[in-house]
Structure 1
Amino acid sequence: MHSSAVFLIEFGCIILVLGLLGRFAGRFRFSPIPLYLLAGLAFGNGGLLPLGSSEEFVAIGAEIGVILLLLMLGLEYTASDLVTNLKTHYPAGLVDALLNALPGAALALLLGWGPVAAVVLAGVTWVSSSGVIAKVLGDLGRLGNRETPTVLSILVLEDLSMAVYLPILTALLAGTGLASGSVTLAIALGAAALVLVLAVRYGRHISRFVSSDDPEKLLLVVLGLTLLIAGLAQQLHVSAAVGAFLVGIALSGEVADGAHSLLAPLRDLFAAVFFVFFGLNTDPASIPPVLLSALALAAVTACTKIATGYWAAKRAGIAAKGRWRAGGALVARGEFSIVIAGLAVAAGVEPSLGPLATAYVLILVLLGPLTARYTEPLATRLLRHRRAQLAAKPDDTTPLTASAHETISDQDAVGHA
């Protein structure tokens, strides 16, 4: 009885604190993710108020949080949307992976953490935060801008890539051999391909089977089906998150819309618990030793994300100002980076990886809204200054480079595009 009372008090305090932090973040219009991570650091070992009785329940809630995050992500897309994006924008996805995964992998190898940690940190630095970016674009009134479909396409490709990346990571973290890892990857890819085919051809029938006019029954069926598929996927050594993502893709139409509205509060609750749980597993004293590495990695990958967005928008025929806006919007990292790092922390890959990922996400989830807002005006000002310098030297016979010609003509042509 006493332990039950202590559990209720502890868990109630956690939820209350998260609610107050979320309200605080909403008032100032920024993502609550860094505040949730800080709350986890405060409640964890080495923090201000270490937990006792409720930690095991928080761990289960965190796992459900990951599953719901991926389910809701899958509900955002139809199978045909994913196939279309893959065919049209795959070059941008390849550039995105190359520019942003390599810095993380390189840092892990330079620190002597080994190849498995390199694969983990590559994923942490690769994937932008869909949730943070969507919120920022909405707050800035850019959802109707010409560059926004390019930004969203990159996010979709990153999400789809996770269906391949997470099974590979799961096999590596489990320490399975090449043959077993290949079987796991084949199962994951086969399942993903099968779900896409079924969703394209029989999506209406699947949705009709799940559909219900009663919100309670719809919630129970979708949530139960998701947890079941996630559990089966994990039993096959495929990430439970991938299973949840595929369930979301398979549902479409009114069912997807209804399930999205019903599950959103649950997603928000358990996702917040997940971020707290990740913080619980990170000793605050372990962050200062990796802070410089996190700052350097954040600076490099902020620049590579800006370059990714600029290149993708240029390829889509967007004018120069829109290219800079697209690049600045992609900088924020968040939920997926923590999910990936959380898998590695649970597997005990490298003690310093969790603190580094925590500091890295904290930096970029705060920096992301700033780069989204100020990258384009800052770049425009710098380019105008450069143009003024070039114009002030009429006697200079040195020919302009092709990039300088392009920059000047872009700035002359775009206006407020």
Structure 2
Amino acid sequence: MHSTAIFLIEFGAIILGLGLLGRFAGRFQFSPIPLYLLAGLAFGKGGLLPLDTSEEFVAIGAEIGVILLLLMLGLEYTASDLVSNLKTQYPAGLVDAALNALPGAAMALLLGWGPVAAVVLAGVTWISSSGVIAKVLGDLGRLGNRETPVILSILVLEDLSMAVYLPIITALLAGTGLAAGSVTLAVALGAAGLVLLLAVRFGRHISRFVSSDDPEKLLLVVLGLTLLVAGLAQELQVSAAVGAFLVGIALSGEVAEGAHNLLAPLRDLFAAVFFVFFGLHTDPTTIPPVLLPALALAIVTALTKIGTGYWVARRAGISSGGRWRAGGTLVARGEFSIVIAGLAVTAGIEPSLGPLATAYVLILVILGPLAARYTEPVARRLTGHGGRPGPASGVWGEGVALPAEAREAVDDQDAVGRA
């Protein structure tokens, strides 16, 4: 009974603190994500007042937060939108991997950590944080922006590439043979392909099955289906986030709109818990020894992500302002980077890899929301041009599929212009 009371006190204090930090951030019009992370850092291992009783519940809430963030992103698109974006944006995935994975691999080799650690650190620096970026896009009101489909295309390609990368890195860390690693990889690719096929070909039937006029039933079915698919995906060595995203794109029409409205408050709650959990599991005493290499790597890969976003948006026909916004939005690293580093730490590959990855992600997860907000105005000031700022800047790129909400916004703007 006493432990239950302590749990309620701790978790209630966490939620109350998140609410106050969110209000503070809202008053000054910036994303609350850095404040959530710093709060977790203050009350985690080695912090001012470590929390113990509610830690396990917070961990589960954090996983649900990432799943809901990706589900809500998926609800913005239909299956046909996804296929169109993947067909037109796959070169962007190759450029993204080359520009952002190589600095991590080079840093590991310069530090003398060996080829396996180099492959691990390459993954840490390559993958942007879908969770952080999803929250930032919502906080800044950019879900309907013209560069957002390009950003989401890169995130989808990165998340799907994890279905290939994670089995490979797991086999390398475990030292398994080629045959065992090939089986693991084949299972992961097959599972990801099957889920994508079901979403693309049978999305209409899934929406009909889920549809309900009762908000309570709709909420329970959508949430249950999402968690089920995410869990199955994770069990098959595919990212739970990919599973949740594909559930989102499988739902369309009124079902997607109704699910979006019902799940938005839950997403905000559990997403905040995720960022706190990330900070809770970071020991501040491990950061200073690796701070300089982590900072150098963060600066380099922040610039390479901005370059990636700029190039991809330019290729899609987005105007200058949208290109800079796309690049700045992609800077944040987060959940996947920590997962990858955690695998290496568990395997005992390199003792310093974990603290360096943690410091690196902390820097970029704090810098990311700031880069998303200020890259465009800074670029315009430095270059002396870049177009009129704001959500309406730029043009939709050829072959970039728009979410229904964005299409309606463009139609409304066109109607106003014709009037």
Give TM-score scaled by structure 2 length: 0.79
In structure 2, the residue matched to 1:53 is 53
Tell me what 2:218 maps to: 218
Name the counterpart of 1:361. Answer: 361
Structure 2 residue runs without a partner (length 5+): 389-393, 395-419
The within-5 A match list for 1:253-272 is: 253-272=253-272
Q: 1:224 to 1:415 in 2, by over 3 A?
A: closer
**Partners of 2:256 and 2:54 in 1: how far apart?**
33
- Could you list the per-position Cα deviations for residues 295-354 of structure 1 after superposition, in whole angstroms to 9, with x for gaps in the alignment? 101110121122212322333345556544543343333455445555656666655444
- Cα offset, 1:214, TM superposition: 1.4
CA distance in 2, matches of 1:22, 1:248: 26
Match of 1:34 in 2: 34
CA contact (8 A) 1:279 1:358 kept: no
Taking the aligned partners of 1:141 and 1:266, their CA distance within structure 2 comes to 18
Residue 100 of structure 1 corresponds to which residue in structure 2? 100
Structure 1 residue 94 displacement after superposition: 1.1
Structure 1 stretches of 5 or more lacking a match? Answer: 385-410
Q: Is the 8 A contact 2:191 2:236 kept in 1?
A: no
Give, in whole Å, the separation in 1 of the partners of 2:53 and 2:148: 46
- Measure the CA separation in 2 of the matches of 1:277 and 1:13: 14
Q: Which residue of 2 is the match for residue 127 of structure 1?
A: 127
Alpha-carbon contact 2:325-2:375 (below 8 Å) kept: yes
Matches of 2:387 and 2:5, distance apart in 1:
63
1:333 aligns with 2:302: no
After superposition, the CA RMSD in angstroms is 3.3
Amino acid at match of 1:107: M
What is the CA–CA distance in structure 2 between the aligned matches of 1:198 and 1:343, rounded to whole Å? 30
Aligned match of 1:235: 235
Q: Is the 8 A contact 1:31 1:132 kept in 2?
A: no
Residue aligning to 1:298: 298
Structure 1 range deviating more: 277-286 or 26-35: 26-35
Q: How many residue pairs end up in the alignment?
A: 389
The answer as to whether partners of 2:319 and 2:387 remain within 8 angstroms in 1 is no
Determine the structure 2 residue equivalent to 1:251: 251
- Maintained 8 Å contact 2:86/2:157: yes
- Structure 1 residues 109 and 354, CA, compared in 2 at 3 Å: closer, same or farther? same
* Distance change (3 Å), C-alpha of 1:383 and 1:213: closer
| Partner residue in 1 for 2:71 | 71
Which piece of structure 1 moves more, 4-13 or 184-193?
Answer: 184-193
Maintained 8 Å contact 1:33/1:334 = no
Q: Give 1:72's aligned amino acid.
A: M
Deviation at residue 383 of structure 1 after TM alignment = 5.2
| TM-score, length-scaled by structure 1 | 0.79
User: Aligned partners of 2:316 and 2:144: how far apart in 1?
Assistant: 16
Q: Based on CA coordinates, which of the two structures has the bigger radius of gyration?
A: 1
Do the aligned residues in 2 keep the contact of 1:195 with 1:250 (CA within 8 Å)?
Answer: no
TM-superposed CA distance for 1:415, in Å, is: 6.5
Q: Supply the distance in 2 between the matched residues of 1:78 and 1:11 (Cα, whole angstroms).
A: 37
Q: Residues 151-195 of structure 1: CA distance to partner in whole angstroms, max 9, x if unpaired?
A: 443344334434444454555566654333322322222222222
> In terms of mean alpha carbon deviation, does 344-353 or 247-256 score higher?
344-353
Aligned pairs for 1:187-226 (under 5 A) are 187-226=187-226
Partner letter of residue 245 of structure 2?
A: F
1:150-189 matched pairs, under 5 angstroms: 150-169=150-169, 176-189=176-189
The answer on whether the counterparts of 1:68 and 1:267 sit within 8 Å (CA) in structure 2 is: yes
1:379 CA drift (Å):
4.6
Cα offset, 1:274, TM superposition:
2.4
8 Å Cα contact 2:119-2:169 kept in structure 1: yes
- For the residues of structure 2 that align with 1:161 and 1:153, how far apart are their CA atoms? 12
Q: Is the CA contact 2:199–2:247 (under 8 Å) kept in the aligned structure 1? A: no
User: Shift of the alpha carbon at 1:256?
Assistant: 2.4
Counterpart of 2:292 in structure 1: which amino acid? L
State how far apart, in whole Å, the 2-side matches of 1:74 and 1:144 are: 14
1:71-122 alpha-carbon deviations (Å, 9 max, x no partner): 3333333322221111112112211111012212322333344545434433
Residues 1:174 and 1:42: Cα distance change in structure 2 (over 3 Å): farther
Deviation digits for residues 231-277 of structure 1, max 9, x if unmatched? Answer: 33343344433433333333333222222222222222223222222
Asked if 2 retains the 8 angstrom alpha-carbon contact of 1:170 and 1:239, the reply is no
Tell me which amino acid in the other structure corresponds to 1:245: F
Residue 28 to residue 174, structure 1, CA distance change in 2 (3 Å): farther
Distance 1:317 1:67, change over 3 A: closer
Answer yes or no: is the 8 Å Cα contact 1:184–1:238 preserved in 2: no
Q: Which amino acid aligns with 1:196?
A: L
Segment drifting more, 214-223 vs 237-246 = 237-246
Q: CA 1:327/1:50 → structure 2, altered by over 3 Å: closer, same or farther? A: closer
Residues 179-238 of structure 1: per-residue CA shift (max 9 Å, x gap): 333223222222222222222222111111122221211222222223323333343344
Shift of 1:32: 2.3
